[in-house]
Structure 1
Amino acid sequence: MKRRIHLGAVLVCSLVSYFCSCSAFYLPGLAPVSFCEDGNGADDCQSVIQLFVNRLDSVESVLPYEYDVFDFCKDAKEMRPSENLGQVLFGERIESSPYKFNFKQDVKCSKVCTKTYKKGNQEDIAKLDFLKMGMQLNYQHHWIIDNMPVTWCYDVEDGQKYCNPGFPIGCLVTSDGRAKDACVINAEFNKKNTFYVFNHVEIKITYHSGASEGWRGARLVAATLEPKSFKQVDENTPNCETSSPMEIPGEFENDVSVVYTYSVTFEQDNSIKWASRWDYILVSMPHTNIQWFSIMNSLVIVLFLSGMVAMIMLRTLHKDIARYNQVDQADLIKIPSTKEKFSLPYEDAQEESGWKQVHGDVFRPPRKGMLLSVFLGQGTQIFIMTFITLFLACLGFLSPANRGALMTCAVVLWVLLGTPAGYVSARLYKTFGGEKWKTNVLLTALLCPGIVFADFFLMNLILWVEGSSAAIPFGTLVAILALWFGISVPLTFVGAYFGFKKPAIEQPVRTNQIPRQIPEQSFFTKPIPGIVMGGILPFGCIFIQLFFILNSIWSHQMYYMFGFLFLVFIILLITCSEATILLCYFHLCAEDYHWWWRSFLTSGFTAVYLFIYAVHYFFSKLQIIGAASTILYFGYTMIMVLIFFLFTGTIGFFACFWFVNKIYSVVKVD
């Protein structure tokens, strides 16, 4: 059952979550929960440990499902903690479970509930078939204790231990005897065309005692489990040691009864601090060396581009400018101004070629200036949002412990940054000589967000039809629209008002009335080859980091390396800027002055490489099956590509805009 979130609650939640995120990051001494033994509990020291369950997901399907959909044991007094906007958008559905433990009281093989499926009952058949589907697609539980994921730790290659924040609900041995997924961990899982459900969990909770620390009780620092499968002969006296595995035949021929049990043990370990209790999960993901390799690879590209730009700025342009400033008093009766040197037919001017020949056309307004200004306004909004979000994440405000904070922060920032979007779009549109200011403002506020919302709405319809927990409730959709039209759009109008009120950006040279004819271009200076080449280097700086981001999104791995991500973000800014400046200079030297759109598309073409890589990732790394999952993958990928296109295109445009103004300022009359 999907919970409907009240419109007003979401509006308040989204705003409050953003402003409160400053005190919600994961640092030592921040709001830990203490636990005491039964009978010693108080308001500041709890004795009951409540286990919460989250949605179940799979690497073979994009569709997550709520815990209750799989007909597991339910809590008689089901509770749902409050969810922020980010959690709702990510489809998290946290609820209480029947697994409740008393602190420091070990339990061995305790029954939770029994689920029986009758052969002739259509409802039971549907429930069992859905459970089988979950085991076949390797759906994973995600349990939470004291805001920590309950992890399943197991050995991997080279003696390393990997701690997975989820564990499978079961596994399948195919009709040809091949053990899939978790069935390889037990030699007893060997019967063909049989499902094995993990109906027993052995939970170990590690705590840090406060007896010698000066605070009362203990704090939980780790929670691990090991899933097992046992077939119970007598559900009232369960056996969790020597029982055979719980089998569910592929063909439903007889009644099936599944008894769910658990064991829990407590262990004290004062060497683990509460503030670093996530470390054992993060350490098991040894990506640091790969990340440093990615950074070094990107820095080499940046140094190469920086050298090229420096050579142009300090050598080529410096010589040109110095030659213009050298006036031979003996040969000239009148010393012409710098601007006159471009217009008078004296000897030096006749010898000019390349970028200096197009000074009278380089600032000619581009075609489709309305659309370009709209893209640049939206790109500015996305750039500022991304920068602030990553900066806060680096400081720890948006850590994995603060669930949903990253998405909540991004959405609220985007809503509040409508003013710079309207200002930039209006100012550039006025510079281009545009007069339809109402159309410009409306397109800035509605065009790109409308495309994203339409795509998101279609994907949400598919999720709703499939019964997935990721389907956004109708109230949340209304809340998003209210944030968009109630806050973002008015702020865009405010920014556009100040943008149109300002004078147009002053150009360093006058534009000729008659456009200059562009000479025949070589293959490499033509628009399309230049644009295609322009996105290669920026993409080369990010593709390794992109792999981990896609793993986090689609393979449900925890992403925490925001420091690396912020560094790669800065490198991407530099690379996009320098690559665009270089290609812009080469095109101007070839006397092609159409640089407005080309500067935007050159770095924006990095998004095309992002899409190609996403397609490669889909076919090479994922095992997603089903039409719905495929449509959802590419639907959400298109949203990412559009946002990335606006982001990188805006970076390249403003870098080139600064460069062109800089080099042509030598002909500006003081």
Structure 2
Amino acid sequence: PVPALNSTIELFVNRLDSVESVLPYEYTAFDFCSEKTMKRPSENLGQVLFGERIEPSPYKFEFKKPVVCQKVCTRTYDTNNPSDKAKLDFLKKGMLLNYQHHWIVDNMPVTWCYDVEDGQKFCNPGFPIGCYVTEAGRPKDACVVNSNFNEKDAFYIFNHVDITIYYHIVEHEQLGARLVAAKIEPKSYDNPNNDSPCTGGPKFLKNKHTGVFNIPYTYSINFVEDKNIRWASRWDYILESMPHTNIQWFSIMNSLVIVLFLSGMVAMIMLRTLHKDIARYNQMDSVEDAQEEFGWKLVHGDVFRPPRKGMLLSVFLGSGTQIFIMTFVTLFFACLGFLSPANRGALMTCAVVLWVLLGTPAGYVAARLYKSFGGEKWKTNVLLTAFLCPGVVFADFFVMNLILWGEGSSAAMPFGTLVAILALWFCISVPLTFIGAYFGFKKAGIEHPVRTNQIPRQIPEQSFYTKPFPGIVMGGILPFGCIFIQLFFILNSIWSHQMYYMFGFLFLVFIILVITCSEATILLCYFHLCAEDYHWQWRSFLTSGFTAVYFLVYAIHYFFSKLQITGLASTILYFGYTMIMALIFFLFTGTIGFFACFWFVTKIYSVVKVD
């Protein structure tokens, strides 16, 4: 027998956001019907950093008990009252910028599906609070959906929702039934008679309205049994909100094939050319009448000469190693399904915790390389490793947070969380960096396969393509080519509030990015050494690190071509957060390039016999 199904379903509300503004706001900021008595669910660090604010709502349902036009509350505004006028103006601003509700039932986003061109259905994990019809009578955003929204210079308020909850009965279990999907349809009713809600035409507010204005909020709930949706795949209906899914798979596969082909070509050229070089050099050394050396063998006495600004390079490489390991482990766990969108905030929490715990490898790598560069200021090195790059990121983040505080946005981090992040940095990450640096300095310096000459060799005049800047600019093109498709979807998930779920492909692109950065940098390093230019350390770092500059240019293009963001605060926030991402990406790709070249240079000079 099926167990008795009699339980209350709670609906939670999240922050409201818009594609036309970077500033999210809490549900209560718009003066909707709210639940004051219930306790808010606890949020993890990732949710707080992303500005999620989940709160209980007055929308509560009994399972399998349909309700038609249940009144929730009525909000009354008097434009002669400054407080009421401010609330009404804020609500109008929200409708003008197309702010969206985000509701949650049983940890599932409630989706709004509507018809678009070609008979297709588009599903959105949010629904608008209202919409605006211009003075010229042109409907904006959601007003296009309803032909009855025809009043000029008016705001139409979605004050009623039809909620449909899909479930399936679970046999032989104590659970009774499971909820597998939740969909919503926003509507607008004027409700001229309080005794019979959900009547009359659409509820609209004239832009220049004066006097008293009432907004009654109502809902209807319906339950539908669906035996086709399995519990394990209940989040799949959210993917209906991804209209370009097929294009995504094709584009990513296309990108991967091109990158793999190019990587194969680079590897083949390198192996064949190097094999011939090494065979020729070794053959020359075996001949009694030694011929004059040429090409990259000429600079064997200078190739391991310490670079200029070795301190800064070692600090960047330490921070880059920390970011590289953090990214690899986070994406690996995401591939296994531990950090799926269903587990809210888990991805960001995992990344921050890993970064904090990876202070030891950062300190170790920075110290070991600095020592191999002949550096002796170990205190400065360890302090810069612990504070320089994290400090720049934190300063940028703090300024962005001040702007969010000033705008009253829900994305503004509470003071307590800010203190907690500083505590994680100073009390865990910094001591671990010191420990890593201690072991790095304690170990002997890295042994090189060839001795460094006392007098530096003069570098001959270089042709255009072997000069530093053109090489660095060319080096970033190939790695960027393998990520820009994924980059589009990642930026969409951040700024257009779409759900990102393709972590398997992202991990694959990550691996290919590492391979491509390595091969492109090694190839250019080889050309420079053949041209007798032995300054490869900084160049290898900057060659693959220049991918971050292409990322920045693409982010600027994305801002002006894809987004409809308006307002100075939103623009500053977009570019402020983009600079943080670009810096992290610069350190990450630059570190890959340096270590690939370091391995390559060490290998070729240890294989060839050097007098």
Could you say whether these structures have the same fold, taking a TM-score greater than 0.5 normalized by the shorter chain as the test? Answer: yes
Aligned mate of 2:208, from 229, 251, 254: 251
Match in the other structure for 1:665: 606
Q: 1:254: Cα distance to partner?
A: 2.7
In the alignment, is residue 633 of structure 1 matched against residue 574 of structure 2? yes
Equivalent pair of 1:302/1:574 in contact (CA under 8 Å): no
- List runs of 5+ in structure 1 lacking aligned partners: 1-33, 39-46, 333-345
Q: How does 1:575-594 map to 2 (within 5 A)?
A: 575-594=516-535
Equivalent pair of 2:167/2:226 in contact (CA under 8 Å): yes
Equivalent pair of 2:259/2:512 in contact (CA under 8 Å): no
Q: Which amino acid aligns with 1:525?
A: T
Aligned mate of 1:422, from 339, 346, 363: 363
Instruction: Report the secondary structure of 1:278's partner residue.
Output: helix
Q: Which amino acid aligns with 2:102?
A: H
Q: Name the CA shift for 1:213/1:547 in 2 (closer, same or farther; >3 Å).
A: farther
Q: 1:76: Cα distance to partner?
A: 4.1
In the alignment, is residue 325 of structure 1 matched against residue 282 of structure 2? yes
Q: Name the CA shift for 1:203/1:173 in 2 (closer, same or farther; >3 Å).
A: same
- Post-superposition CA distance 1:290-313 (Å, at most 9, x none): 334323323323322332333222
Paired with 2:125 and 2:193, the residues of 1 have a C-alpha distance of 32
Paired with 1:49 and 1:76, the residues of 2 have a C-alpha distance of 18
Moved more, 320-329 or 551-560: 320-329
Q: Which amino acid aligns with 1:593?
A: Y
- Post-superposition CA distance 1:436-474 (Å, at most 9, x none): 001000000100000000000000000000000000011
In the alignment, is residue 149 of structure 1 matched against residue 109 of structure 2? yes
Paired with 2:559 and 2:41, the residues of 1 have a C-alpha distance of 34
Instruction: Report the secondary structure of 1:445's partner residue.
Output: helix
Q: 1:274: Cα distance to partner?
A: 1.2
Equivalent pair of 1:508/1:667 in contact (CA under 8 Å): no
In the alignment, is residue 563 of structure 1 matched against residue 504 of structure 2? yes
Q: Name the CA shift for 1:76/1:503 in 2 (closer, same or farther; >3 Å).
A: closer
Match in the other structure for 2:232: 275
Instruction: Report the secondary structure of 2:98's partner residue.
Output: coil
Q: How does 1:509-524 map to 2 (within 5 A)?
A: 509-524=450-465
Q: Name the CA shift for 1:413/1:451 in 2 (closer, same or farther; >3 Å).
A: same
Aligned mate of 2:423, from 482, 487, 493: 482
Q: Which amino acid aligns with 1:217?
A: G
Equivalent pair of 1:509/1:667 in contact (CA under 8 Å): no
Match in the other structure for 1:231: 190
Aligned mate of 2:152, from 180, 192, 207: 192
In the alignment, is residue 454 of structure 1 matched against residue 454 of structure 2? no
Q: Which amino acid aligns with 2:230?
A: K
Q: 1:36: Cα distance to partner?
A: 5.4
- Please provide the CA RMSD for this pair: 1.6
Match in the other structure for 2:52: 92
Match in the other structure for 2:549: 608
Match in the other structure for 1:80: 40
Moved more, 88-97 or 284-293: 284-293
Q: Name the CA shift for 1:35/1:293 in 2 (closer, same or farther; >3 Å).
A: farther
Paired with 1:216 and 1:499, the residues of 2 have a C-alpha distance of 56
Equivalent pair of 1:35/1:103 in contact (CA under 8 Å): no
Q: Which amino acid aligns with 2:21?
A: S
Q: 1:120: Cα distance to partner?
A: 1.1
> Paired residues, what number?
609
Instruction: Report the secondary structure of 1:51's partner residue.
Output: strand
Paired with 1:326 and 1:82, the residues of 2 have a C-alpha distance of 71
Paired with 1:225 and 1:451, the residues of 2 have a C-alpha distance of 43
Q: Which amino acid aligns with 1:526?
A: K
Q: 1:283: Cα distance to partner?
A: 4.2
Match in the other structure for 1:70: 30
Paired with 2:357 and 2:246, the residues of 1 have a C-alpha distance of 35
Aligned mate of 1:441, from 376, 379, 382: 382
Q: Name the CA shift for 1:509/1:288 in 2 (closer, same or farther; >3 Å).
A: farther
Q: Which amino acid aligns with 1:308?
A: V
Match in the other structure for 1:301: 259
Paired with 1:284 and 1:184, the residues of 2 have a C-alpha distance of 19
Paired with 2:525 and 2:249, the residues of 1 have a C-alpha distance of 31
Q: How does 1:76-475 map to 2 (within 5 A)?
A: 76-210=36-170, 212-238=171-197, 240=198, 242-285=199-242, 286-313=244-271, 315-326=272-283, 332=288, 346-348=289-291, 350=292, 352-475=293-416
Paired with 1:283 and 1:53, the residues of 2 have a C-alpha distance of 21
Q: 1:561: Cα distance to partner?
A: 0.7
Identity %: 75
Q: Which amino acid aligns with 2:147?
A: A
Q: 1:318: Cα distance to partner?
A: 1.8
Q: 1:284: Cα distance to partner?
A: 4.1
Match in the other structure for 1:37: 5
Q: Which amino acid aligns with 2:262?
A: F
Instruction: Report the secondary structure of 2:136's partner residue.
Output: coil
Q: Name the CA shift for 1:416/1:288 in 2 (closer, same or farther; >3 Å).
A: farther
Q: How does 1:616-655 map to 2 (within 5 A)?
A: 616-655=557-596
Instruction: Report the secondary structure of 1:347's partner residue.
Output: coil
Equivalent pair of 1:111/1:235 in contact (CA under 8 Å): no
Q: Which amino acid aligns with 1:228?
A: K
Instruction: Report the secondary structure of 2:89's partner residue.
Output: helix
Instruction: Report the secondary structure of 2:162's partner residue.
Output: strand
Q: Which amino acid aligns with 1:516?
A: R
Match in the other structure for 2:597: 656
Q: Which amino acid aligns with 2:186?
A: P
Q: 1:275: Cα distance to partner?
A: 1.2
Equivalent pair of 2:161/2:219 in contact (CA under 8 Å): yes
Q: Name the CA shift for 1:328/1:124 in 2 (closer, same or farther; >3 Å).
A: closer
Instruction: Report the secondary structure of 2:179's partner residue.
Output: strand
Match in the other structure for 1:13: none
Instruction: Report the secondary structure of 1:83's partner residue.
Output: coil
Paired with 1:547 and 1:327, the residues of 2 have a C-alpha distance of 52
Instruction: Report the secondary structure of 1:163's partner residue.
Output: strand
Match in the other structure for 2:479: 538
Instruction: Report the secondary structure of 1:277's partner residue.
Output: helix
Paired with 1:160 and 1:384, the residues of 2 have a C-alpha distance of 42
Equivalent pair of 2:110/2:125 in contact (CA under 8 Å): yes
Q: 1:75: Cα distance to partner?
A: 1.1
Q: 1:109: Cα distance to partner?
A: 0.5
